[in-house]
Structure 1
Amino acid sequence: MAGQSNTGIESAAEHSLPSPCLCIYHRPMFALTGATGYLGQSILRQLHVANLSVGAVIRAGSDRSILESYCGWIAEAPLDDVDALAKAFKKADVVIHSAALIDIRRGNLAMLRKVNVEGTRMVLEACRRAGVRRLIYVGSIESFDLSPLRRPVREDFAFAEGTAILDYGNTKADASRLAVAAGFQGELETVIICPTGIIGPWDYNRGLFTTMLTAYFHRKLPCLIPGGFDFVDVRDVAGAVISAAHKGRSGESYLVSGNYVEICQMFQVLEKISGVKAPRMVLPLTLARLMAVVLEGWAGIFDKKVPLTRGSLKMLSMSVRVSSAKAAEALGFQARAIERTLEDVVKWHRDPLANDIDCRPAASAFSGRS
């Protein structure tokens, strides 16, 4: 609950742990899981711009087309093969573990646990075997216990223990606890970055938000759903992840938030930017819940992902506010205004090959480096 450590373990400061030990004079070598994912691609771009060496750790059969321009090496290693992971991590000072299974449906808990929890366990063990100095684990706002909503969510909120709104959140909470515990064992430094809802350009994998926007731009989105959420630009999250490599304190988690916005307000902004008329009808909550039940049933039968479930609707209806003050102070994190993000989203949707979209974060991920 609020006011307690999110791990049940004393903070790193209480153990007088040293400041991040990746020397700012040393240019670390990175290895990145989830490199072909939405966030992973932005991390790759920013490391490339900073002239830092990075290797991509991918599944067999992954699309390598975006990787070859940014990566020093590419290694195939499934998350359930600790030996292959350790071999892939051998060159790395820092491993960024952004690979995850995101599924907002019910009924897929076994696969979520296999990828998100057991996969993280394997990554941690592989880091130890390979002699990696630091692991940056990409968590999620959904891993926190969001029930005590008396104030903005902060890092002292507990990680959920089976009480997250989504099964996905419960598995990310379990994985986050593994990462924090590993940091306190002393063999490996671990830092957890927990973003809110990630949006922005370059979502070539067509996630749920991008799929909804595509329907909107093609005038096939008949109505909007009630509620709102905190959305953060993918480039700003990537910047926080990279900053954590040399500024984050081992055993600590950092919330990375952007702007809380109602869904209907977001589409009003999109209408002003794009000129495409936004839907005027917002579904009543009762009708939206009924639609979520129908969509979940359809998704279960045909094994499809859907943009609306009972869990995601509950998240949107809770008006969750999030504080990123800790990340701002420790990592130099800064979130851009959502209008700037949506301007680039519209630009990218109109021209997926547009080369005038800045890949850098709002705050430089490398400020303070010597």
Structure 2
Amino acid sequence: MDIVKGDILDYTGLVKAMKDCDVVYHLAARISIIGDRQGMVRRINVKGTQNIIRACRECRIRRLIHFSSIHAYSPFPLNQYIDETRSFSNARSPAYDCSKADGAREVLEAVKSGIDAVVISPTAVIGPNDFKPSRMGNVLIKLYQRKFISLIKGGYDWVDARDVVRGALLAEEKAEAGSQFILSGHWSSIREIAEIIREMRGIKPPFFTAPLWLASLAVPFSEAAALLRRKNCLLTSEALRALRTHQFISRRRAEECLGYSPRPLKVTIRDTIEWLEKKGFLD
């Protein structure tokens, strides 16, 4: 494997990196739960995707696998299952959601002009080999270290990164050009995740679970503290929105067309905790 550093906004560099490639897996994105204050979310997720499409055309790439997000799809109505027929997020949605929706639109529009591309949309990705670690990885770390004084009502559909990779490889092999696939895992509340960790490691979670309205009162203080400490903020208004949306998600198309099947959530949590421990993140 050759690792080449680049910039998705550098078109010339993309062409150089993609020369003689057969398939491109486009994962580069800026994730944000604090809006798009400097414009980089939209530049990377939309303009960057436009660059990828253009470079694929110039380099005659056989197939493009574009990684979108479940947040590209509108969460409304909340009580109905989301599948690939759901409309995309609109301008009233958070900046990240809008950018992923527009990026997916760019790819699907490019298919009409001859680009062979498939769009896959994972849910909340967790798993081992989380080197940064990600925001989701930090949630597990803080649960393990008992750094939360309270949990928050709500949850996510959690999917193992290894299952997302397998789904992407299956999409490259089996999918029709222009198709979309939701790669989901299992919805679980933050409380249920904490209980899984207690079951495995004996780590007692906080007793209290704050309703979303109460947690929202703490958002300004959480954001200010993160800014002062120059750290990523986990408690924002957009994070709270995510906790209460995208709960009912269908992966039927991926199961039927690709043979996709996510592993049990407990296996993902176990493997992730073991990896984080091995790398010293839980010390």
TM-score normalised to the size of structure 2?
0.93
Task: Give the C-alpha shift of residue 340 in structure 1.
Answer: 1.0
Alignment counterpart, residue 344 of structure 1, candidates 248, 271, 277: 271
Task: Give the C-alpha shift of residue 227 in structure 1.
Answer: 0.7
For residues 261 and 92 of structure 2, the distance between their equivalents in structure 1, rounded to whole angstroms, comes to 30
Whether the 8 Å CA contact 2:156–2:188 is kept in 1: the answer is: yes
Task: Give the C-alpha shift of residue 181 in structure 1.
Answer: 0.8
Which amino acid in the other structure matches residue 126 of structure 1?
A
Cα deviation 1:288-313 (Å, max 9, x = unaligned): 00112322344456664211211111
The residue aligned with 1:172 is 100
The residue aligned with 1:185 is 113
The residue aligned with 1:118 is 47
1:144 aligns with 2:86: no
Which amino acid in the other structure matches residue 336 of structure 1?
R
The residue aligned with 1:53 is none
For residues 96 and 290 of structure 1, the distance between their equivalents in structure 2, rounded to whole angstroms, comes to 40
Which amino acid in the other structure matches residue 171 of structure 1?
S
Alignment counterpart, residue 127 of structure 1, candidates 56, 68, 78: 56
Secondary structure, aligned partner of 1:108: coil
Whether the 8 Å CA contact 2:122–2:182 is kept in 1: the answer is: yes
The residue aligned with 2:187 is 260
Cα distance change, pair 109–169 in 1 and its aligned pair in 2 (3 A): farther
For residues 39 and 190 of structure 2, the distance between their equivalents in structure 1, rounded to whole angstroms, comes to 31
Whether the 8 Å CA contact 1:227–1:319 is kept in 2: the answer is: no
The residue aligned with 1:87 is 16
Which amino acid in the other structure matches residue 136 of structure 2?
F
Which amino acid in the other structure matches residue 242 of structure 1?
L
1:200-279 to 2 correspondences below 5 Å: 200-279=127-206
Cα distance change, pair 303–334 in 1 and its aligned pair in 2 (3 A): same
Cα RMSD (Å): 1.7
Which amino acid in the other structure matches residue 108 of structure 1?
R
The residue aligned with 2:126 is 199
Percent identity reads 32
For residues 74 and 347 of structure 1, the distance between their equivalents in structure 2, rounded to whole angstroms, comes to 27
The residue aligned with 1:61 is none
Alignment counterpart, residue 105 of structure 1, candidates 25, 31, 34: 34
Which amino acid in the other structure matches residue 200 of structure 2?
I
The residue aligned with 1:320 is 247
Task: Give the C-alpha shift of residue 280 in structure 1.
Answer: 1.5
TM-score normalised to the size of structure 1?
0.72
Alignment counterpart, residue 282 of structure 1, candidates 206, 209, 219: 209
Cα distance change, pair 253–291 in 1 and its aligned pair in 2 (3 A): same
Whether the 8 Å CA contact 2:124–2:136 is kept in 1: the answer is: no
For residues 213 and 293 of structure 1, the distance between their equivalents in structure 2, rounded to whole angstroms, comes to 23
For residues 240 and 163 of structure 1, the distance between their equivalents in structure 2, rounded to whole angstroms, comes to 30
Alignment counterpart, residue 158 of structure 1, candidates 63, 78, 87: 87
Which amino acid in the other structure matches residue 112 of structure 2?
F
1:350-361 to 2 correspondences below 5 Å: 350-352=277-279
Cα distance change, pair 319–112 in 1 and its aligned pair in 2 (3 A): closer
Gapped regions of structure 1 (runs ≥ 5): 1-70, 354-370
Cα distance change, pair 347–97 in 1 and its aligned pair in 2 (3 A): same
Alignment counterpart, residue 308 of structure 1, candidates 235, 239, 258: 235
1:17-96 to 2 correspondences below 5 Å: 71=1, 73-96=2-25
- Higher fraction of helix: 2
Cα distance change, pair 332–304 in 1 and its aligned pair in 2 (3 A): same
Whether the 8 Å CA contact 1:224–1:279 is kept in 2: the answer is: yes
Cα deviation 1:192-248 (Å, max 9, x = unaligned): 110111111111111112212222222322211111121111110111111111111
For residues 107 and 192 of structure 1, the distance between their equivalents in structure 2, rounded to whole angstroms, comes to 23
For residues 96 and 246 of structure 2, the distance between their equivalents in structure 1, rounded to whole angstroms, comes to 19
Whether the 8 Å CA contact 2:143–2:194 is kept in 1: the answer is: no
Whether the 8 Å CA contact 1:328–1:334 is kept in 2: the answer is: yes
Secondary structure, aligned partner of 1:238: helix
For residues 197 and 262 of structure 1, the distance between their equivalents in structure 2, rounded to whole angstroms, comes to 12
For residues 90 and 101 of structure 2, the distance between their equivalents in structure 1, rounded to whole angstroms, comes to 7
Count of matched residue positions in the alignment of Structure 1 and Structure 2 = 280
Whether the 8 Å CA contact 2:36–2:96 is kept in 1: the answer is: no
Whether the 8 Å CA contact 1:77–1:85 is kept in 2: the answer is: yes
Task: Give the C-alpha shift of residue 78 in structure 1.
Answer: 1.2
Whether the 8 Å CA contact 1:202–1:352 is kept in 2: the answer is: no
